[in-house]
């Protein structure tokens, strides 16, 4: 009986003619506002005891009543989650990289002495003769390694001083080397320096070179393989 009374008034969408529930103000299909319609008087069912209400049948033209309870709630988009821990780590790493780059850039300015090349103990006004003279002083004082450094500088660019090659050869020639350093002599290197000196026009090195050749030949005859290799390389 209550159902028949409720059917006398129903809510209908004015656009799509879909019946709506009493608690719905807008159509879920088209968005239109609801509209109340009064059923005609002849449509009210006879509620007499001898005339039971007929069960309404779903015709082809009857539109289904949407049930809001059956509709699934719309899924709300989740706001992007910011991972604060990862963000802090990334920012810290960037700061460290920038600090390192800045330190590398500023280091030469803060330490100008370390950014300069090593001093090779050669003045700009020194000549090749000055270098050889200083080398002689080191040899007299027993600083053979220092003397070799100075002589190599004199023989190379920009000096290209041929006598410096002869002085280097004398330090490695067992026939010319000072007695305390004969054990450190290297005949193969001496042969190399002699040949380079002759190639640069220092023909006065020829006599010392021939003496070294005679010494190497004696050693080669005694089975010295290094002497044989030096003879093959510098006296082919």
C-alpha of 135 from chain center? 47
Domain assignment present for residue 167? The answer is yes
Domain assignment present for residue 222? The answer is yes
Evaluate whether 35 touches 9 at the Cβ level (below 8 Å): no
Q: Which of 43, 58, 76 is the last residue of a domain?
A: 43
Q: Give the domain extent around 211.
A: 128-234
Backbone angles phi, psi at 11, to 5 degrees: -105, 135
99-151 per-position pLDDT tens digit = 776 666 555 555 554 444 444 444 457 899 999 999 999 999 999 999 999 99
85-102 per-position pLDDT tens digit = 777 788 888 778 777 766
Domain assignment present for residue 106? The answer is no
The Cα–Cα gap between 182 and 139 comes to 13
Domain CATH code at residue 178:
1.25.40
61-93 per-position pLDDT tens digit = 455 555 544 445 444 455 555 456 777 788 888
User: DSSP letters of 182-211?
Assistant: GGG--HHHHHHHHHHHHHTT-GGGHHHHHH
pLDDT at 55: 57
pTM of model > 0.75: no
Domain assignment present for residue 140? The answer is yes
Domain assignment present for residue 38? The answer is yes
Number of separate domains in the chain = 2
Domain assignment present for residue 168? The answer is yes
């Amino acid at each position: 009986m209550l159902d028949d009374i409720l059917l006398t008034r129903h809510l209908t969408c004015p656009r799509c003619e879909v019946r709506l529930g009493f608690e719905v103000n807008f159509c879920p299909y088209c968005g239109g506002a609801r509209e109340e319609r009064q059923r005609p008087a002849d449509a009210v069912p006879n509620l007499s005891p001898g005339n039971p209400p007929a069960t309404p049948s779903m015709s082809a033209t009857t539109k289904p009543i949407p049930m809001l309870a059956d509709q699934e709630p719309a899924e709300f988009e989740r706001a992007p989650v910011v991972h604060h821990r990862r963000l802090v780590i990334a920012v810290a790493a960037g700061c460290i990289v920038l600090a390192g780059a800045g330190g590398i850039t500023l280091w030469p300015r803060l330490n100008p002495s370390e950014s300069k090349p090593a001093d090779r103990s050669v003045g700009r006004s020194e000549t090749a003769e000055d270098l050889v003279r200083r080398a002689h002083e080191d040899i007299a004082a027993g600083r053979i390694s220092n003397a070799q450094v100075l002589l190599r500088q004199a023989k190379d660019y920009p000096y290209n001083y041929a006598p410096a090659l002869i002085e280097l050869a004398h330090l490695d020639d067992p026939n010319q080397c000072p007695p305390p350093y004969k054990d450190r002599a290297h005949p193969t290197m001496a042969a190399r320096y002699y040949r380079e000196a002759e190639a640069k026009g220092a023909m006065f090195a020829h006599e010392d070179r021939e003496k070294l050749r005679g010494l190497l030949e004696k050693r080669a005859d005694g089975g010295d393989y290094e002497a044989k290799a030096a003879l093959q390389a510098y006296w082919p």
